[in-house]
Structure 1
Amino acid sequence: MIPFLDIDPAYPTVLPPGLALVIVFASNLVIPCIALFISRRMKSLTWLPHFIAFLWVLCSVVIFSVVGMPTMHDEETGGPADGLIGVPILLEAFFAVLVYLCAWIIRTVKWCMFIAGRVHRQA
Structure 2
Amino acid sequence: MAMIPFLDIDPAYPTVLPPGLALVIVFASNLVIPCIALFISRRMKSLTWLPHFIAFLWVLCSVVIFSVVGMPTMHDEETGGPADGLIGVPILLEAFFAVLVYLCAWIIRTVKWCMFIAGRVHRQA
TM-score by length of 1: 1.00
Shift of 1:114: 0.2
Shift of 1:3: 0.4
Q: 1:64 aligns with which of 59, 63, 66?
A: 66
Post-superposition Cα deviations, 1:51-91, rounded to whole Å, max 9, x if no partner, equal: 00000000000000000000000000000000000000000
**What residue ranges of structure 2 are gaps of 5+ in the alignment?**
none
Task: Specify the SS of the correspondent of 1:121.
Answer: helix
Identity %: 100
Shift of 1:17: 0.1
Aligned residues: 123
Q: 1:122 aligns with which of 90, 100, 124?
A: 124
Shift of 1:40: 0.2
Post-superposition Cα deviations, 1:5-36, rounded to whole Å, max 9, x if no partner, equal: 00000000000000000000000000000000
- CA distance in 2 between counterparts of 1:81 and 1:70 reads 13
- CA distance in 2 between counterparts of 1:27 and 1:3 reads 21
- CA distance in 1 between counterparts of 2:6 and 2:51 reads 32
Post-superposition Cα deviations, 1:82-116, rounded to whole Å, max 9, x if no partner, equal: 00000000000000000000000000000000000
TM-score by length of 2: 0.98
- CA distance in 2 between counterparts of 1:38 and 1:7 reads 37
Task: Specify the SS of the correspondent of 2:118.
Answer: helix
Task: Specify the SS of the correspondent of 2:31.
Answer: helix
When the two chains are superposed, the root-mean-square deviation of aligned CA atoms in Å is: 0.2
